[in-house]
Amino acid sequence: MAIEHFSTLKQHLSSQIVGQEALVENLLIALLANGHLIVEGPPGLAKTRAVNALAQGLEADFHRIQFTPDLLPADLTGTDIYRPEDGSFVFQPGPLFQNLVLADEINRAPAKVQSALLEAMAEGQITVGRKTYELPELFLVMATQNPIEQEGTYPLPEAQLDRFLMHIEIGYPDALSELEILKINRGEALSSKAKSDENADSEKKTALRTLSQSEIFSARDQVLNIHMAPSLESYMVDLIIATRQPEKYDDKLAAWLAFGASPRATIALDRCARARAWLHNRDFVSPEDIQAVFHNVLRHRILLSYQAEAEGITSNQVLDHILTLVAVA
């Protein structure tokens, strides 16, 4: 069963990324929903490690790109290389042709680089010169942002933010998780000789079954077939409409919102809620599934008004308020 294989993968991720249960689950949701995600949190919270651990559990290629102000689009897409022996040009693929791509500190690159990544995320292809090249069918971008340092960064355009399935915020682990992190770090720092002396049975227990790409695509089909009641579909639409027509619900909400979410938000909410239900081994979507992914799907898709920013209102507070206003059908 595909769900059993994903449960094993989830256990592997949880053993590698301690204290970040929400990040682990949302990584798998993004994989099942065929979408990209942006993760925001302070340095040192295992954001890079998370994608590395996911790549270890999949039959997939992985590449990390450190975004910097001097990055060029060709550094992502690849470029045509001139061959002097026959006077021809040969395309050299860039890191975007991998299955899993980590765009580290994505907001440090200028707009021309963002546009190259936007085409890859939105269309599953890249264009170099006059030619267009298809990217792998399994293609997931996980971008990271550091909320602390804002100097020398470029805010992501709304059009690109809308292409991300989810925007996940992570924080520091608790004390017990921090102790577990210390143990894992010490174990990984052992010399190669010490590691070779470990018990063979222990190695067998920690062996991970790699998920093939065909199994991932099969799981995605199962997610799309999860049952969702018509009343819950209406509930999802009402939640999105509340961001566009807030005056119908509440004067306070109307004062806080400048722009609402696009139809991509409705699609993303549907896909993520189905994926979460499937991960929890259910064949139907519940209101809890929709509400659990609501903030991650909408956080980056709404624009707050000047009044909300002046009052110190955050996107999370606005989304909390919407959940209290819109009743489950």
Is the dihedral angle over the CA atoms 142, 139, 20, 265 positive or is it negative? positive
pLDDT for 71-87, tens place per residue? Answer: 998 999 998 888 888 88
Which H helix or E strand runs over 170?
A: none
Can you give the pLDDT at residue 193?
54
Alpha carbon distances (Å) from 145 to 41, 152, 169: 7, 13, 10
In angstroms, the CA 248 to CA 250 distance is 6
In this prediction, residues 56-80 reach a mean pLDDT of 90
Which H helix or E strand runs over 309?
A: helix 306-310
pLDDT for 295-312, tens place per residue? Answer: 999 999 999 999 999 999
In angstroms, the CA 228 to CA 286 distance is 8
In this prediction, residues 192-213 reach a mean pLDDT of 60
Question: Angle at CA 258, nearest 5°, toward 299 and 36?
Answer: 25
In this structure, the chain runs to a length of: 329
Left (φ > 0), alpha (ψ -120 to 50) or beta: where does 328 sit? beta
Pairing of strands 125-128, 100-104: unpaired
CATH topology of domain 226-325: Helicase, Ruva Protein; domain 3 (1.10.8)
* Farthest CA pair distance, the chain: 71
Alpha carbon distances (Å) from 103 to 64, 168, 197, 222, 284: 6, 15, 37, 29, 34
CA 32 and chain centroid, separation: 11
Give percent of the chain with pLDDT exceeding 90. 50
Please give the model's pTM, rounded to 2 decimal places: 0.88
Query: Taking all residues of the chain, what is their mean pLDDT, rounded to a whole number?
Result: 88
In this prediction, residues 40-46 reach a mean pLDDT of 83
Residue 251 corresponds to which amino acid?
A: D
Q: Where in the chain is the domain with CATH 3.40.50.300?
A: 2-187
Q: Where in the chain is the domain with CATH 1.10.8.80?
A: 226-325
Which H helix or E strand runs over 300?
A: none
Which H helix or E strand runs over 60?
A: none
In angstroms, the CA 220 to CA 152 distance is 39
239 φ, ψ to 5°?
Answer: -65, -40
Pairing of strands 140-145, 36-40: parallel
CB atoms within 10 A of CB 309: 12
In angstroms, the CA 36 to CA 162 distance is 10
In angstroms, the CA 293 to CA 289 distance is 7
In angstroms, the CA 165 to CA 156 distance is 15
pLDDT for 119-170, tens place per residue? Answer: 888 888 988 878 889 999 999 999 998 777 666 677 787 777 888 999 999 8
Which residues, 6 or more positions from 8, have their beta carbon under 8 angstroms from its beta carbon?
208, 209
Of 1.20.1640.10, 3.90.110.10, 3.10.20.30, 3.40.50.300, the CATH number of 2-187 is: 3.40.50.300
Which H helix or E strand runs over 38?
A: strand 36-40
